[in-house]
Structures are given as structure tokens and as C-alpha cells.
Structure 1
Amino acid sequence: MTAKLVLLGGFLGAGKTTTLINTARKLEQSGHVVGIVTNDQGKELIDTELAKSSGLEPKEITGGCFCCKFDDLYANMNELMEEKKPDFIIAEAVGSCTDLIATVIQPLKQYYSKEFKTAPLTIVVDPERLLGDLELSNDETPNFSQSVDYIFEKQLAEADIIAVNKSDIHSPEVIAKVKKYLQNRYPQTVIQEISASADHNLDELISIWKTSDVGGDKVLDIDYDIYAAGEAKLAWMNILGDIHASTSIDPHVWVQTFLDKLSAHIERENMPIAHLKVHAGLENNGFVKASLVKTGAAATYTVENAQSATFIRLVLNIRIETEPDKLNLIVQDSIESTNEKVGTTWNGTYHECFSPLPPEPIHRLQKV
């Protein structure tokens, strides 16, 4: 028995996890068995918890990207084959990762083709990342360094499918211009408009995965010095902690107060946000989730059964271009300021803040 691997890539904040969860649900609803693998440089991830809450039971690979953790990826895929016998395995790569064809897909094709087939490499993109190139945006938000942009550009260049996400929050005219721009730039690539959150065109994307074994052959020339420099520019923070109050507080109020303070710091320091997520969970399984993918933009909120409480479990994931020490300082100040304003106390139970180490792939096959 073989399973088909669907490898999802794309820059931080593109909507990969929402794409993963909702395509997996649709595949299961149509009678397929689906396995999930999530991937990140750190631990205590909101995305993994969201996948778990959706009933997907993901395998998780932390401490490095798939290319550097290929053996772990292969081991997890084999565990899924033993435990679930899936028809599809959807694996979501780290948002700062590229060169997936040479380091993941080609090794699978050349060494393990009897066990796993590969769907076309799918790169999810947020149109917002391209509006400046199209002169459709004249805002003054800080730009990423050239080495960070290099990663984004290489992600697009190696894609078999570019899934232009978030079509529900952009006008049809903007989406059409983004698609035309991408098709002109990458004429051999399938450009598929989707909205993962609004379930727009996910069936069309899944259909390509099901019917095509073509792809995974665009082995790129990658300057690993520039690639490593781009990852090193990013600070990667994951925090887990508990918020306590003597009287019940609204978790939405706490999160919004915290984000207002933190966003003011970030704008003042001119830091480009890649992705910022806050998850405030309650004992009754309710939660408030906030997501921010651009400096100066408004956060988007998801609220499920969130009621006032005296205890809130908080998870914070931040990916941003700055130094880790500076990020630690502004987050600590924002938590303290929020506690003082709302009347709460903070008990941190897990904290990591770092810049990723240079990527060192286990395999890199340059010949198709």
C-alpha cells in the first residue's frame, strides 16, 4: 500500500495550516483516510493545537525544517502508515523553508517511491505579500530584508502549484492581477485561487492533488549563505503561560489589550511581522485566537465559546524580523502592561526565543 504525500509550503502567515486542516476535512468527508505532519523550528505551537482540536491527530516535527529533519519526516510517515493506513499524508513545512524539491521530494521519489507517491508541490501565498510589487499598495509598513525576500521568491519559483489564498478578503480585481502576475512570472506553474477559511476552490485544489503525479522536478540553484542569512534575520518566539485573575475577565479584552501594546512597540521599532498568533484558551474548551500577518494591520479574531474566567491558558507564537533579545523585552513589557491594566497576573511555563540555525539538509539531490 502506498500513500500520496501532499507537501504544503509557503511563507509565514500565508494560511498553510488553515489550508491543511480544511483540505484534510474535505478529503475525509469524501471517504479518504488522511494523515497529518506539522513542522516548526520551535515548540508549543498554536497550529498543532488547532489541528488537534479539529480531530486530525497530527504528528509534529520540531527543532528544524523537513530538509534538516528528513529522517524524522520519513519515520513519522511510516508511523502514520502503520497506525492509520492513510490514502493521503499532508505535511506542512516551516514557513521560512525553501528548496523542498531537492531536499524532500526528490529523495522520496528516488529512495522511497514504492512506499510514497508525491503530489505536486503546493506553495500557499498571501496576496498581501505581492501587492507592493504590483503597485497595488502604497502603505509604509517596514519591508523585509533582501535575504528574507530571497526565501519567499525561491518558494514561489519551485512551486508546481501556487495557491493564491485569502480570496475572500481581497477584491476579484486584486486577485486577478495577482494571478496574472504570477502566471507571467512562472508560466509552467498552476496558479489556483483559493480561500482556505471560506472553503473557496479547495475541491479544485484537491482534484489536482488526486489526479496528478507530475511535479517535484524544479530543482533550483539555492545560495545557502543567503538562505541562512534570511532565516537568521527572523526572531522565533513561542511562549506558554497562565493568566490568573481574582475576578472573571474577558479573554478577548486581555488579548486585544496585549496586542494593542505589543503592536505599538513593533511599529515604533519598525519591525516587519511575518506572523504573530495568540491563543487564549479556557477550561471549558472555549478560546480566543488572534492572528496578525503584517505590521500596522488589524488583527483577525476567531472566538469560540469564549466566556469570562479567572484562569486563561495563553500560547503566543511570533515570527518577526528583529533580534531575539529585543523581542523578549517588548513582549515582557506588553505582558506586564496588560496585567496592570486588566488586573491579572502571569505565570510563564515555557519560553523560547531564538533565530534559526543555518539549514543543513540530510539529502540534496540536484539531478532529477
Structure 2
Amino acid sequence: MSATPPTIRFIMLGGFLGAGKTTAIGRLAWHYQSQGLKVGIVTNDQATDLVDTQSLRAQGFEVGEVPGACFCCNFNALTKTVADLSADERPDVILAEPVGSCTDLVATVIRPLQQLFAAHFDVAPYGVLLKPSHGGRILRNDARAGFSPQAAYIFRKQLEEADFIVINRVDQLPPAEVEELTRLLNSAYPGTPVLRTSAQSGEGFPALVELVDQKGRFGQRKMELDYDVYAAGEAELGWLNSSLKISSNELIDLDRLLMEIVTTLEASFRELNVETAHLKTIGLADGVYAVANLVSSFSAPELSLPSKAKVREAQVIVNARVATLPAVLTEQVAAALEKVFLQHRATLHVQQTQSFQPGRPVPTHRLEPSPQ
């Protein structure tokens, strides 16, 4: 009789759009690989052509993608994607990144894995990364948060269901702001551990690893959720994923190109007075890649992963989550791309553009905490 294979450690990190989940998951993946463990990553989006997937693959990780719906509404695709990653070489650890506008993930993903797939998965405590740029304003009930009460409702519910909360990007924040965010979180979610870290620099990262590696009964917090408000909050955002190829007879500075795309769109969204939840673009060429992003209308564009490369051809993907209609978003992105590439005298070939508003969430499973 063959021995039962060991369970796979399943680690999911949630958080709002632009919270830094991909960077944190990449750092965790490097950590576990350095311990000699095999790591698989599963990303998630409402559509295909996800910057996060390409970024993680460019770093050499095995990545499966669940497109077309969130993990909760496409649970069977999540388990199938994990199985596909296991087909060639069974991973010891799976790191999962859910859609940044989703909540209720404990009831619809964590508990189904715990209760229906206990023989296959050892589920880690569920952590949620706090996005300081929008988070501070929402926690203070600041009307300048940039989103409707329905979208802010999703943000708060993400934090409410967490086993622990991570204040991310602390290296970019004044100490007084970190202290204030900690106080606001402790007041709003008493009893939930709050960590401080920077997924980018690694500051505070050992504490995150220590918490994620804990064993025990997690996902036991019961949360009430109004799916009408949830659906309205998700529908506030227009989503766009666009994939294109560029070519030029002259060398193009890839980092500068991506930053110009982001800054041009930032100015366009500011003129329209619409809030950016997350804008991210990646350029890939000849074994090099770069990523630039914008996480809010009151944050500066950032070259989060520089390439320091000059290229004549590149694959470029743009992901935009903005509080406007999809048709408006499509028009603004197309105009920005045309303007930037014209300045670089580059030829642009759009391969695919998907633009839409997310539909109402309909989970595959929604389970209550298991009996003690």
C-alpha cells in the first residue's frame, strides 16, 4: 500500500487592490525556497493578462492563474490549478493571491479547504495586508478616501475576517502614521494581531513568517456580510487588462516607458476626478522585466521593479482598476498609450483588451466555522 502524501501548506494573503500582496508573496516564495521547499503560486483575477502573474513568472516561480472570477466564485478552478501545479512536481507550499476587491474569503475559501480538503491541505492563518494610502482615510472615516461607502465596506470587511493584519509599506510612512494606523486597527478589530512590515524592503518580515508558520485552528471568526453592498462596491470599479507588443528601430528605455504610461494615466484620471484603486504595468523583453504602478490618486507613481534596460521590442501589459465606467477607462488607456508610444516613435500592436465591471459574487461554497 502506498503511503498517503503529506499535506500541502496553503498560505493565502488578502488585501485591497494595491496593498502589496504580490511583493509579499514573492518574498515569501524566496524564503521558503531558501529552506529547500518547493513552492507553487496561484494568482487570481476577474480577467486574463494579469501583471502579477507575469511578474512572478519572470522571477522564476511556478505560477498558475485562476482568471474569470475570484477564488470564492471559482473554487473548483482554484483546486484544479493547485493540482496542475502538482502534476510535475508536488509543491510543499502553495501561496495564493486573491482578487483585491474580494472579501468573505474565510467562509468561501479557507473553510472549504479546511473542511472539504483536509487530507490535501494544511491551511495557514489568513493574513490581510493593509494598504496605508486608502486604509488610513477609510479607518478615519475621511470623506476624501476616494471611494463610495460601498467600496469602503469591502475594505473594512477584508480586515474584519483576518486572522492577522499587516500594515505594509512601513518604510514609506512616518513613524507617527504607523502608530496611528496601529491604534486605529486595534480599536476597530480588537484581538486581531497587527504586524508592521515592508514587503519591498523586508523590514519586519521575520515576524510575518513566524505568524504564517503557526499551526492551530484558524478561520474561526464568523462574519456577517451584506452581499448587496458588497456587489455594489465591486461594481463601482472599472477593470481593464490590456496586452500589447511594441517595437522600434531605436532603443527604448523600458523603465522610462512604463513610468510615462503610469504618469500619463495618473494625469488623465486626475482630470476626470476619478479614484485609482490600482494601476500597474509590466514590460518584458529579452530576459528582462520592469514594473511600474500607482496605488491611489494621492500617491506618487512608482517604478517598483526597475530593469535598467533599453530594448527595441517588448511585451507590455496594463492592468487598471479605477472608479469609472469601463468604456471611459478603455478610452483613457488607449489615448495614453498612443501618446506615449508616439513620443517614443514606437509601433504599437494591441493584442487584447478586456474592460468591464465585476458581476455579483456568487460563491461556490460558504461554510460556517467547524464545531469545536
Partner residue, 1:316: 318
Aligned residues: 365
Does residue 190 of structure 1 match 2:193? yes
Secondary structure of the structure 2 residue equivalent to 1:96: coil
Instruction: State how far apart, in whole Å, the 1-side matches of 2:305 and 2:126 are.
Output: 32
Find the aligned partners of 2:136 and 2:218 in 1 and give their Cα distance.
Answer: 28
2 CA distance for matches of 1:221 and 1:5? 25
Letter in 1 for 2:13: L
* Per-residue deviation, 1:27: 1.4
1:235 to 230, 238, 241: 238
Q: Which amino acid aligns with 1:215?
A: F
Any gaps of 5 or more consecutive residues in structure 2?
A: 1-5
The question of 1:79 aligning with 2:84 is answered yes
Q: 1:81: Cα distance to partner?
A: 4.1
CA 3–171 in structure 1, closer or farther in 2 if over 3 Å, else same: same
Shift in Å, 1:46: 1.2
Cα deviation, 1:38-92, whole Å, max 9, x if unaligned, reads 1111111111111112221111111001101111112222334443333321111
Describe the SS at the equivalent of 2:365. coil
Q: Residue 259 in 1 paired to residue 262 in 2?
A: yes
1:101 and 1:142 mapped to 2: Cα distance? 26
SS of corresponding position for 1:310: strand
Comparing 76-85 with 173-182, greater Cα deviation is found at 76-85
Q: How does 1:28-47 map to 2 (within 5 A)?
A: 28-47=33-52
Q: Which residue identity is paired with 2:56?
A: A
Q: Is the 8 A contact 2:55 2:282 kept in 1?
A: no
Q: Matches of 1:299 and 1:347 in 2, distance apart?
A: 25
Match of 2:62, SS state, is coil
Q: Distance in 2 between matches of 1:270 and 1:219?
A: 37
The answer to whether structure 1 residue 20 and structure 2 residue 25 are counterparts is yes
Alpha-carbon offset, residue 296 of structure 1: 4.3
1:267–1:295 Cα contact (<8 Å) kept = yes
* Cα distance per residue 1:265-313 (max 9 Å; x no partner): 100111111110111222x222332110011432111454433333232
Query: Aligned match of 2:133 in 102, 111, 128?
Result: 128
CA spacing shift, 1:276–1:141, aligned 2, 3 Å: farther
Distance in 2 (CA, whole Å) between partners of 1:238 and 1:314 is: 11
Contact 2:14 2:97 in 1 (8 A): yes
Per the alignment, residue 340 of structure 1 pairs with: 342
The answer to whether 1:218 aligns with 2:221 is yes
Aligned residues: CA RMSD: 2.0
User: Which deviations, in whole Å up to 9, do the C-alpha atoms of 1:317-367 show, x marking residues without a partner?
Assistant: 111111000011111111222233332221101111111111110111135
For structure 1, the residue ranges without an aligned partner over 5 or more in a row are none
The alignment status of 1:329 with 2:334, answered yes or no, reads: no
* Sequence identity percentage: 34
For 1:154, what is the secondary structure of its paired residue?
helix
Q: SS of 1:69's equivalent?
A: helix
1:141 CA displacement: 6.0
Partner secondary structure for residue 72 of structure 2: coil
Alignment of 1:358 onto 2:363: no
Which residue does 2:3 correspond to in 1? none
- Give the Cα separation in 2 of the matches to 1:270 and 1:220: 34
Would you say 1:169 and 2:172 are equivalent positions?
A: yes
What's the TM-score, normalizing by structure 2?
0.92
